[in-house]
Amino acid sequence: MPKYKILFLDIDGTILTPDDTIEDSTKVAINEMKKQNIEVVLATGRPIHEIKEFGQELHISSYIGYNGALGIYEGDTIFAESMDTKDVKYILEVAKKNNHEVVLYTDSKNFLTDLDSDLVKAFLQQFHLRQNDLFTEDVIEYILGMTIITTGDDGDALYQFNDGIHLSQVNVEGMQHCFDVIRDTVNKGAGIQFLLNKLGIERESSIAFGDGMNDKEMLSFAGEGFAMGNAHPDLFQHAKHRTTDVTASGIYNGLKSLGLLQ
């Protein structure tokens, strides 16, 4: 059995339940991993400046945020990859034509195309985004990630990208009309690979848990990739393992199956 050294955890639908709580079994599992000297990293599509409270609650200080665009290890930034301004402008143009809204993330704030839209307000409330402002062109070079808030069905089909970018549906109840913008070379999988290389940890010694399609690269790359029982149906093919739901001790049960918990 390989000696596991690092654990990557998505937030929404993985450690965070639909009622915005973290199960006691998840907290126990994380604490037990630390006792075994296994590093724990939060790997999320969320902006890191909005999730520090989760880190504090779980005593975690390492993050991969914005779907792999920014990495922080024990409080220090180790990589940051801003989006190409041409891609940002294209998305904004298509969104405007189709009455969609866009959330654009920098390393310190969330910028929105409309602060008064009901769709935007619902999104901000769902993900507890507090550091918000209206988007202006002067921040376009600092965008680390984007989420498109569409209307109706198949709104994502209106965006036609060349190779290198795709959209990932947000796997949260009531938010399926929202899509994260994912870059093929900047994603959670690339982010954890960078961190493993920096720390000198073998791929086989890594574990990852996720539930959304923005987790597919991470689960595919990790030595032991677990899809939560509540995961997007298309995610299971990218994971080595399937565990139970986020509301049924999914992380604990997955780690138990590896012999790391009793």
| Tens-digit pLDDT profile for residues 201-240 | 999 999 999 999 999 999 999 999 999 999 999 999 999 9
The three-point CA angle 108-54-69 to 5° equals 45
* pLDDT at site 123: 96
Name every residue whose Cβ is closer than 8 Å to that of residue 256 and which is 6 or more positions away in sequence.
Answer: 262
* pLDDT at site 152: 75
Sheet holding 63-65, edge to edge: 76-80, 70-73, 63-65, 39-43, 6-9, 206-210, 224-227, 241-242
Distances (CA, A) of 164 to 12, 59, 68, 154, 186: 25, 35, 14, 21, 9
Q: How far apart are CA 103 and CA 110, in angstroms?
A: 7
Tally: H helices and E strands in the chain: 7, 14
Q: What is the pLDDT of residues 90-106, one digit of tens each?
A: 999 999 999 999 999 99
* pLDDT at site 6: 98
Task: Look up the CATH number of domain 85-183.
Answer: 3.30.1240.10
Q: Where in the chain is the domain with CATH 3.40.50.1000?
A: 6-81+186-257
Average pLDDT, the chain: 95
Residue 191 has pLDDT above 80, yes or no: yes
Q: What is the pLDDT of residues 40-84, one digit of tens each?
A: 999 999 999 999 899 999 999 999 999 999 999 998 999 999 999
* pLDDT at site 32: 97
Q: Using only C-alpha atoms, what is the Rg of the chain? A: 18
* pLDDT at site 219: 98
* pLDDT at site 2: 63
Structure tokens at 53: 């409270």
* pLDDT at site 52: 87
Residue 1 has pLDDT above 80, yes or no: no
Q: What is the mean pLDDT of residues 181-190?
A: 93
Distances (CA, A) of 118 to 61, 114, 180, 216: 34, 9, 19, 30
DSSP secondary structure code for residue 116 in this structure: S
Beta bridge partner(s), residue 43: 64
- Three-state DSSP state, 6: strand
What pTM does this model have?
A: 0.89
* pLDDT at site 171: 87
Residue 131 has pLDDT above 60, yes or no: yes
Q: What is the pLDDT of residues 145-160, one digit of tens each?
A: 999 999 877 889 999 9
Residue 137 has pLDDT above 80, yes or no: yes
Q: Which CATH superfamily is domain 6-81+186-257 in?
A: HAD superfamily/HAD-like (3.40.50.1000)
* pLDDT at site 14: 98
Q: Where in the chain is the domain with CATH 3.30.1240.10?
A: 85-183
Beta bridge partner(s), residue 16: 12
Percent of the chain with pLDDT over 70: 99
Q: How far apart are CA 169 and CA 147, in angstroms?
A: 9
